[in-house]
A and B are shown apart, each in its own frame.
Chain A
Amino acid sequence: MNNIQLISASAGSGKTFFLMEEIAKRIQGEGCDVVAPEAIMATTFTNKAAAELKERIRMKLLGKGCAEEAQRIYDGLIGTVNSICAQLLKEYAFEAGLSPAVDILPEEDAKRIFQMATKDAIEKFSPTLELVAKRLGLMGYGSGFSKQDDWRDFVQRIVELARSNGMQLNDLDRSAQNSWQSLNTLLGTAHAESMNGEDERLKEALIKAVALLESGTPCKKPTIPIIRDIHQKMMKGWELSWADWVTIENIAFNQKDDEIRSLWGPWESDDVATKARHLKHPRFRSDMKAMIEGVFACAAEALSEYAGYKKKQGLMDFVDQEVLVLDMTTHNRSFQNSMRERLQLLMVDEFQDTSPIQLALFLKLSELAKDVIWVGDQKQSIYGFRGADPALMDAVATQIESLNPEDAKKNILKHSWRSKELLVDFCNDIFATAFAHQLDRSKVCLSIPEARKESGAGGWLEDWLIDGQNATTRSGSMVAGIKALIQEKDIQPGDIAVLCRSNEECSELSAALNQAGVRASIAQGELLATQECVLAVAALRYMTDSSDSVAMAEIVCYADHHSQHQGWMKQLLESPNATKEAWKLDPIMQSLDEARGRLMFLTPLESLELAMRCVGMDRMAHAWGETDQRLSNLDQLREACVRYQDRCKSRRGAATVSGFLTWLYEVRKELMQAEGHGSDTVNILTYHKSKGLEWPVVIMASLQKPSKSRLFGASVQEAELFQADDPLQGRGIRFWPWPYGTKRSVEAISLCLDDSEIAVKAKKQALSESQRLLYVGMTRARDGLVLARQVKSNKAKQDWLDELVEDATGNMILDYDEDAFLIQQGTQETKVYDAQTRHLASDDSAQAQAPSKARYMLPKVETSAAYPPATFAPSGVSWGDLHEDDVEAQIKARLGDRLNLCSNPKMADFGNAMHGFFGADDVNCDQASRLSMAENLLKNWGVAGAIRAADMLKASDRLTAWIQSHYPDANMMREWPISMKLSNQQETQGWIDTLLELPDGYVIIDHKSYPGTETGAKAKSYAPQLQVYKQAVELATGKPVLEMLIHMPLAGEVIEVRFK
């Protein structure tokens, strides 16, 4: 840990700039040893961040005149943790005893693979757990909001937590015990006596009650179906769930329902705790115990089954990679040695977002690296939901800093390079107080540096009170505010970012904005519902299957350039068959029909592109207006196809058009339209996604929502004591299953648990996380910050902001006045910040106008000329203009006897062997080496024994002799390259087997290993090829080709081919 330089970089403090300086310094060896660019390991959280980091480093190095180093950066290990781990595992697979083929298990498949892998464990435990799960409502039944948890998901979740926290089987054991005991204790002592009679009593009561109802005994109306449902369930012999018991305990009666109410006996009371008899029911306890222990036990088995399965399949997920690299880093000598050489600088960006296992990995890697820089900001740790553990991070940071307290002070970046002064002060004041209990002021507060004294002055705040009656008024008032800002502040929509808590809020708001004529960045709903995608997909469908008449109708309906577009529906209904036939005659359909024949050679993506091309998709997008958006959507569709193909690859499956279409419809709910961007588009995104970004103006929305602590479900429990050399030691998991299915809140159980230490701690964690999220949000703003609070029934609601409290006193930090924010800082005086207050209501009268968008020009369509292929091979040339009758072939010379083929060789290979020999044979060489060359060639072409090697020599000898006697002055060139570009731009390249240069021209000789006897006709068939050679030679040399000869070594003939 000693070598770790931990840089605390608050939001906007110029982290990247600082890092670049540090890296460049090291590469140049300024005041330190020179670091080789390829010996840098830098981890980021996204591929994009990695690419940016590389680019920045390169620019920096180029700026320092280190062009070569800038290029060498590509050999360093810069990327996401996982891409680096993947590379290391591949490179060091043998050291680690692993398969070098690292197949990454795609996240979307994780669940499926987990189920497949752990089926034995699940099967083993399901006979017991399924029964319990039914009663606890943990079967995963239902959908949407009324979907139950599934006990098997908890098994998976616990396995995941165990893996990402490096837990072992005994940790799970301990966790199971702790989970059950803590819960059991909090629920209080259970009834000692068996409560088996309870069911009978209830049944009796229900039967009587239903009988009474049948006879018309009065009862509160909503209560009747409840009684009936439970009664029916009991009559069917089905077991009651604990949610049913809660229902029974909470049945509400009217005054006059006494007769039925009296049946309720023990479950009727004004006191919540008294009537909640099920909590003390031994069976309830045993169910909970069985579930907790069963899920942990099942998880323990699943953990090893999962590992075994992936190993067998050669699959790995991100956590596996991290665990394996951690393991190599900790235990593998040769890896350690190699890394010691290789790792001169380790840089970890955004260290606050690392998962526990990653943290452990970084700590270990740091031991191997010479120089280590970790950069991050504890205040921006907002990925708890993804497994980051802020508490662990804090512990590590404290430890590192305690080693070198002096350095620690130096390693705090102090200046704000982002926000204007007023905003910097505002955030300083709020968060120095909010984080006071855990962070020193110096780690929170920034100041405006000298260089920005002028440009950094100013800044503004606004306090919006928006009408929060319902979603519509909420969005409406936001729109009104945004419009006002654009008008009054002279800013572009693209300068504004609105931050929301959830994706739903984002889409709601952007829908409202779009309706009001302001473009918003967030996707506007399903991709496949857009008209451009409907048309594209219809084209693809029809192209794949001509019987898809729905797709055909969609094309006719959407494509205005389809000849039958006008009045198509009427025609279809009036004369279906004739109309459908007429549709097919249109050029669009015909091009799709024609394309169908080529599908066999296309990839799914190419098929989609071809389909789009056939319907003139891009031009349709221009015709419909909103071209940018539509083209982006079409791009999004192409991207989906690429994603499908990638997915097939990682599943080692096939990718087909029908598979793509099936997948497309399967995931259609998740495929969203492309996000807009640009200066005319208001950015709308979640707080989580805003991290690392900045805008001139930031509007904080969703402030009414308080944070929620998660008491039930599975979560990680910190260790009692943090140990730096084994940071994951002693951690555990708490798993409390929610026993009431889809019933979301049950007062009785809350009464038991809410004040417990565990609940208080969970609450506190949630609170801290929500404060950090606010920090991230507020610090995104450069010039102006808006807090958009909701007013409901005349009361402003900002529960989330109210969670900004001073730890010591519990007092709220932020308060509000007309045109001012007030900040309370402990005992100090209240600080007042001017902030314009706007009372906003939704303005229905505002005319919705579609955002007007420029239209784009398109290149003028020309009827396309037919162009020949760019290249052609001389041997592939057809007769073309040449006519067979114009060619004659005559035997020019008989060189000797026919040579015999000994076996039945593959003629192509045999020909190659012969060519190979003629191309290289030197008749002046010694016989032995010539023979061995001939034999080797025959062997290498897989035709050994096809001809006697001596015969090959004979063929070569007699040809050479003939040439020498016939063309005594010839300069002989063998395997001579030619290249030619015709006037129609076609290019060709080839080899002339033998070219004889004579004083007045050339002779072309081509060898053909034709075994037959029709040598004349055969030779003639090569005329087109020879023609190409002739043309090339004549063009290149300006001299004529005097003769074109085909040499047939087997027949022992030389045949002249002549054009009449």
Chain B
Amino acid sequence: MQIIFDMAYDQQVAPHGSGAGSAAIGTLYVGPQGLLNVLETQLGLTGREIHHEIRIHAYMQRMKDALSDADAGYYRASFQEDGWSSARQLLGWRDELVLAGWNGAHSSDFTAKLAALALLEKGVADEVRQSLGDRLQRVAQVLSMGNQSLHIASVIVEGDAFLPHIFTNLFGMLAEMGVSMVDAEHEIAPSDGNLGIVKDAMFDASKRRAMVQDHDDTLVLLQADDEWAAASVVSAWLKADQKKNKDVLVIQKQGSDVLDQALAQSGLPVQGGGARSPWRSALQVLPLAIANCWAPLSISTLLELLSLPVSPVPAVAAKYLRAAIQHEPGIDGESWKKAESKILEKYQGYYVEAGECESDALERANRLVREIREFLVDHKSGSEGIEPKRLQDLCEWVKQGFVKAEVDQHAIQAMAQAGRLAELASKESQPIPRAQVDRMLDSIIAEGARNPDDQSEAAPWMRVADPSAIASGVETIVWWDFIDHGSRPSIFWSQKERAALAGIGVELESSIQRRQRESAGLRRALKFAGKRLILVAPEKHHGTVQQLHPLWDEIRYFAADPSDKNSEDAWKVLVQSCSSLLESNHASFMGRGPCQFELRDRAFLEAGTASVTISEGAIQMPEKLSYSQMSTLLGCPAKWALQYASNLRPMDSLSLPTGNQMIGTLSHRIVEELYTDPDLWGVETIREQTEIYFDQFVPQMAAELLEAGRDVERCRYRDQVADAVVLLVNAINKAKLTVTKTEGQVQGKSLGSIPFHGYIDLLLADEAGRAFVIDLKWSGSSRYKKAEVENGEALQLASYAWMLQEKPEDDWAPGAYFMLAQGELLTADSSFQAYRTLESPLSVQEIWQRGEKSWTALFQDVQEGHVAFTGMQDEELLNADREERDLMVASPPCHFCEFGNICGKTRGAQ
């Protein structure tokens, strides 16, 4: 077999000889890893791959065992801080040394760092000895024993830069065994034009330097503001002359969705090649499941877990639980429990449907609920760490989620990662602290995964990820992402360390050598481009501004003639801007044409209208009505129609209630609880009782307040709520009222023919048995509600009064808003004996009548086909119109409206 070796050939190499419709046998392009594989195979040294985390873990164990040794002083403190990361870092250094030929030997010249490494190496586990260097050394060792038969006829070593010591060593051994070793210096493909000028200057110091010329596109830096423009140009260019594409090589380091889209739209094969990423949805299950096992609970993390496309909580169950925490942002409260029973019922049904008998189905559904409880509600781990067993169980739970989802082998990567964490956990006996779990998880997840759907399609052109993988001449090279991808700095070894290592035969690669090789690799893009080199450089990648590839510095420099003072800026003629190419339908560029272009039709997003007309009677009567529907219609008939008639809903997992909304619900619940059992407290103990309830309900309804660092806020809320409740109770007592019902539903009346219903926060009665209503509000300011009462617009209170009225001659129940945060009772009825009774221009009855009239009239408008977007109308005109029709004026609820984009309100002039 013939091997062609280059340090860069572990990735895809091109061109490698075989064009379409051809094949080769017995020839192999390999880099270090590939070479190792061949040798290991031929020497019978293959074996199962050991994952890096397992190596880290084993090294960490070794470090721990050696802690008492004097030489461990070097790492002791760091190890105690963070064993995992210390092991990872030291192991990295160790691997570098082993790759340089170190076999663990000690030397008296060693620095503390080297001595520590030598110490560890003495008893290191076999699992650790699996790095590239270890394996190469093993191969060398076997080879040195002689009498091995290799089936390698020759090795051609390409690339003219320095090879690391271990390879020269290895090649020496191969040569001794009779393998023919050939050093191949690459030919430089001859070129004309600017490309030739720069190449001459770059590769042949003896040539006279010249300056690049205008109107020559053999060497082009294609500059684009964004990836879209660059992709348009590249795909149009590739499309323009497809026959020639077999002579094109594309360098592309990272997959580009934008380029692929442009290629696909032009009917060309896509590049694919998306990167490995730790952020794929399937890989989030494990970290989210683990994040949820710690106390205090993070409610937003829980929501994320429940919103994943695949998770150990089955989809329908997740939906119920999501809804529950959307209502009460906490766990194990009323909503949560309700969700659990719904899950039980639903899944039992599913299982029965699937053919199980009732009792089996019930048992299985029960198991599901139990499992959810176990992993999401019960036993949260705290600062002491998580029991290894529990961590293992969690990993199992996560794995099982993938099985249940019946996803195909694509989920294997995610399951494997969960398995590896479980394996690491199984090696521990003590609770593992959170920081270490996070670190282990980091190492496991960091490797990420590829998107199995993201495949390169077979294309006539060749591709490589890096210029150093170009193996011979090609006519045109297109370098897609000609931007600086950063360069890993070399590990620093001091002179003393290098000397000590050299003393025992370990040759560390120097920065100079490494950089030389790197530089030679980059220059291959020029070396091998025969006719044309196109460097594509979008200014931004994923919206982040990029630096040009460092090779550009060299090209710029070689584009000038140093003897000509004015040629410093000569490189500018190499730059071509994509937008200028796309602005003027250039038929041909960079040697190709005509390119097929088109203009996208103009489109205008119409400004929103103030109303639409639809056919009469199209909008149906609602089946039932509540105050909030009514006020929505009064505020903006279109919002009402979209929300209630067309039933438009946003997705449900966007946000959780916090702040005022959350505390409002919590306070309601507390008041409800207090008045459900009024015997538990008296005026003197009301405060304590409130606080007891507060603490009881917070985990269920306001869990975020339990998060670390929120204590002061929680105390403030507790105080505020207690203040509010005390003032509320005082106000109720002062008015000599008793609470008869909390959160009571009232129904039985109809508006027009539509049944009307509602919930009354507090229904009260005075000594004479007359009904009173209090509605609780938590809001930052009482200004708006105050204005509502003073303007005679307190329709909500009036609606309750109306519903409570059994006979027409009955009194209208007086109503009040109680502003919890301000401790203010807002009412226009003096029988409440509020601090100040507000003045309302209308009586409760009048308010209701006006409201009723308004609803009827506005609803009629809608039914007649006139749907008004009040927020889009001139407010003065609108109010004037309402007044003229003697209808209630309400300001459009645009601030709390989901439809701003579609109605045009938030669209503005664009």
Contacts and interface: CB of A to CB of B under 8 A. Distances in A.
Given A659-B304, A922-B149, A631 B225 contact: yes
Nearest to A623: B603
A599 B411 CA distance: 12
B25 A71 contact: no
B291 A654 contact: yes
Interface string B532-553: 0000000010111101001001
Nearest to A850: B909
A858 B647 contact: no
Interface stretch (B261-269, B745-753, B844-852): B261-269
B147 interface: yes
Contacts of B652: 545, 547
Contacts of B647: 549, 576
Contact of A75 (B47, B490, B494, B715): B490
Interface stretch (A434-442, A445-453, A527-535, A1008-1016): A527-535
B733 interface: no
Contacts of B512: 68, 72
B20 A985 contact: yes
Nearest to A88: B492
A236 B822 CA distance: 10
Interface in B844-893: 867
A93 B82 CA distance: 11
Interface string A983-994: 111110000100
A58 B277 contact: no
Contacts of B44: 916-917, 919-921, 933, 936-937
B839 interface: no
Interface in B733-784: 780
B55 interface: no
A724 interface: no
Contacts of A311: 81
A656 B25 contact: no
21 contacts: A75-B490, A112-B709, A116-B708, A123-B711, A228-B836, A235-B835, A236-B727, A544-B309, A549-B648, A554-B901, A601-B452, A606-B257, A639-B543, A642-B543, A662-B655, A665-B654, A857-B599, A859-B596, A940-B47, A941-B48, A985-B459
Nearest to B307: A658
Contact of B459 (A119, A656, A870, A978): A870
A862 B235 CA distance: 12
A916 B236 CA distance: 49
Interface string A122-164: 1100100010000000010001000000001000000000000
A295 interface: no
A312 interface: yes
Interface stretch (A96-104, A281-289, A376-384, A494-502): A96-104
Given A119-B711, A547-B649, A862 B265 contact: yes
B614 A334 contact: no
Contact of A656 (B147, B281, B595, B709): B281
Contacts of B618: 573-575
Given A338-B494, A573-B645, A652-B442, A919 B519 contact: no
A502 to B, nearest CB: 23
Contact of B77 (A97, A662, A863): A97
A551 B602 contact: no
B53 to A, nearest CB: 14
Interface in B438-490: 438-439, 441-442, 449, 451-453, 455-460, 463, 484, 487, 489-490
Interface string A569-589: 110111110000000000000
A981 B544 contact: no
Contact of B18 (A572, A623, A980): A980
Nearest to A664: B654
Nearest to B47: A940
B43 interface: yes
Interface string B1-25: 1000000000000001011111111
B307 A656 contact: yes
B75 A912 contact: no
A940 B226 CA distance: 50
A545 B652 CA distance: 9
B48 A940 contact: yes
B266 A862 contact: yes
Nearest to B455: A869
B601 A977 contact: no
For chain A, which range describes its interface: under 10, 10 to 19, 20 to 34, or 35 or more residues? 35 or more
Interface in B684-733: 707-712, 715-716, 727
A240 to B, nearest CB: 15
A637 B84 CA distance: 36
Interface stretch (A256-264, A822-830, A968-976): A968-976
Contacts of A547: 649, 651-652
A868 B458 contact: yes
- Greatest chain B CB density within 10 A among A604, A610, A652, A869 is at A652
B796 to A, nearest CB: 24
Given A654-B288, A917-B44, A97 B78 contact: yes
Contact of B553 (A62, A116, A606, A857): A62
Q: Which 9 A-B pairs have the closest CB atoms?
A: A940-B47, A639-B543, A97-B77, A115-B709, A920-B44, A862-B267, A99-B82, A101-B85, A980-B23
B505 interface: no
A573 B867 contact: yes
Contacts of A645: 279
Nearest to A56: B553
Contact of A995 (B25, B267, B411): B25
B113 interface: yes
Nearest to A608: B257
A67 B556 contact: no
Interface string B300-327: 1101100111100000000000000000
A93 B77 CA distance: 9
B651 A534 contact: no
Nearest to A550: B650
Contacts of A1033: 23, 25
B25 A531 contact: no
Nearest to A661: B654
Contact of A638 (B232, B303, B410, B543): B543
A981 B23 contact: yes
Interface string B94-132: 000000000000000001110010000000000000000
A63 B557 contact: yes
A613 B227 CA distance: 14
Contacts of B550: 55, 58, 74
B823 A236 contact: yes
Contacts of A97: 76-78, 81
B287 interface: yes
Given A122-B711, A314-B82, A1035-B21, A858 B459 contact: no
B600 interface: yes
B586 to A, nearest CB: 8
B451 to A, nearest CB: 5
Given A558-B605, A645-B279, 13 more contacts: A62-B553, A101-B82, A152-B712, A642-B543, A653-B287, A656-B288, A658-B303, A659-B300, A857-B599, A858-B582, A870-B457, A920-B45, A979-B25
B562 A1035 contact: no
Contact of A529 (B42, B46, B716, B906): B906
Nearest to B583: A854
B184 interface: no
Nearest to A127: B715
A755 interface: no
B26 A976 contact: yes
Contacts of B116: 94
Interface stretch (A15-23, A614-622, A1048-1056): A614-622
B553 A123 contact: no
A860 interface: yes
A397 B237 CA distance: 58
A385 interface: no
Interface in A516-571: 529-531, 534, 538, 541, 544-545, 547-551, 553-554, 557-558, 560, 569-570
